[in-house]
Homo-oligomer: A and B are copies of this chain.
């Protein structure tokens, strides 16, 4: 029965070939170079070193390390699921970026019937990819690579539409993507999990455990994410002092949330020891909470405080979820989510100073005055602080709704029978989808099928 249901021999190649044929067609018809990558656009006044490549590429490379190495290692924290964690992350991320280049390109870089491609699109696409990978964390161990591709196929457009709608019509500030990226990913993932709910995994799973080496690998993933998070949070801000502040705030917020995570981890453990899952996940909370205001003049101390608050929200929520029903290794992931729900909804928009849309509108004499002080200032919408707060709340609501809706639909699609979904006893197990080396599963965990274990009990 195993072979019938989970063999990738036909399903995966068929899906991949179909996707690639369609994408190759779309690339051929719609994708061209943007001005900085187009030889025809270079004139005798073009200075090669002014190319946007040199502005964006190294931030892009940092984010690449985060997505492929950082996430890959982080998701390899299960003892028998290391291959899957790293490899499915690799597969999903690669496809999500390719796909997002087209979908986001259509919304953001489309003109004259073409998507204009430069490093900046790749960077944007990696943000959409991050959304998919965060949602991936919610279904880790319970889905096949075919299901993951389908999830990415559906999530990327829903996210792109949401992002486009929120930024275009509601107009909020969200440089580090706290609202759009993390919140969307969170609710989408929750919604998918809700639909895919497997009651038999409710009491834990024999294979849903870590081992020493997998924990260390996952910790390396955390460190890579931690180290490059300032690049992530600042990659899409305005250049100059804005990006400079984004780097500073992210670093400070991460630092204070890291210290706080250590304190909580020792305090909440009954034997006063550190729990590695806290170090692996909660230390990163500060990078998320500083996100929405990362480029603003919030002061370094505020970034420090946001880091502490984010971590606190994350730890207390994670602690409380131990009382509620948990499914598999999701508590770890829910902890990460909790931070978002808590900070956005509890502390909410009162934390945000907002500039761009509170600037006076075109023609307002105040604008001219301000432009003398801040030359690059573009006309805004003249929103008051309260008005902007209402818009931020509207954006939250809109994002959450679309994410949940998209997640539910996606969940039902993933339940379709031919997607190689692993049965309960084969969850969290590399052996379903990989040729494993001979030492797989030695020397540790007995690999008794769940059924027989339950019989024993």
Contact = CB atoms under 8 A, between A and B. Distances in A.
Contacts of A24: 256, 301, 304-305, 308
Given A12-B263, A227-B65, A210 B272 contact: no
Q: Which applies to chain A's interface (DSSP): helix, strand, loop or mixed?
A: helix
Interface in A82-122: 82-83, 86-87, 90-91, 94-95, 97-98, 117-119, 122
A361 to B, nearest CB: 20
A212 B12 contact: no
A272 B69 contact: no
A118 B246 CA distance: 11
Count identical subunits in the complex. Answer: 3
B299 A28 contact: yes
A376 B257 CA distance: 43
A433 interface: yes
A342 interface: no
Residue among A10, A13, A228, A374 with most chain B CB within 10 A: A13
A91 B222 CA distance: 13
Contacts of A9: 266-267, 269, 271-272
A37 B212 contact: no
A332 B226 CA distance: 29
A167 to B, nearest CB: 21
Given A10-B272, A117-B248, A119-B247, A259 B376 contact: no
Given A42-B374, A273-B433, A263 B16 contact: yes
A38 to B, nearest CB: 6
A49 B40 CA distance: 25
A31 interface: yes
A150 interface: no
Nearest to A222: B90
Interface string A3-38: 100111111110011011001100110011100111
Which 4 pairs show the lowest CB-CB distances between chains A and B?
A48-B240, A9-B272, A7-B272, A44-B375
Interface of A: 3, 6-13, 16-17, 19-20, 23-24, 27-28, 31-33, 36-44, 46-55, 57-58, 61-62, 64-65, 68-69, 72-73, 76, 79, 82-83, 86-87, 90-91, 94-95, 97-98, 117-119, 122, 145, 209-217, 219-220, 223-224, 226-228, 230-231, 238-245, 247-248, 251-252, 255-256, 258-260, 262-264, 266-267, 269, 271-276, 279, 283, 297, 299-301, 304-305, 308, 373-376, 432-440, 442-445
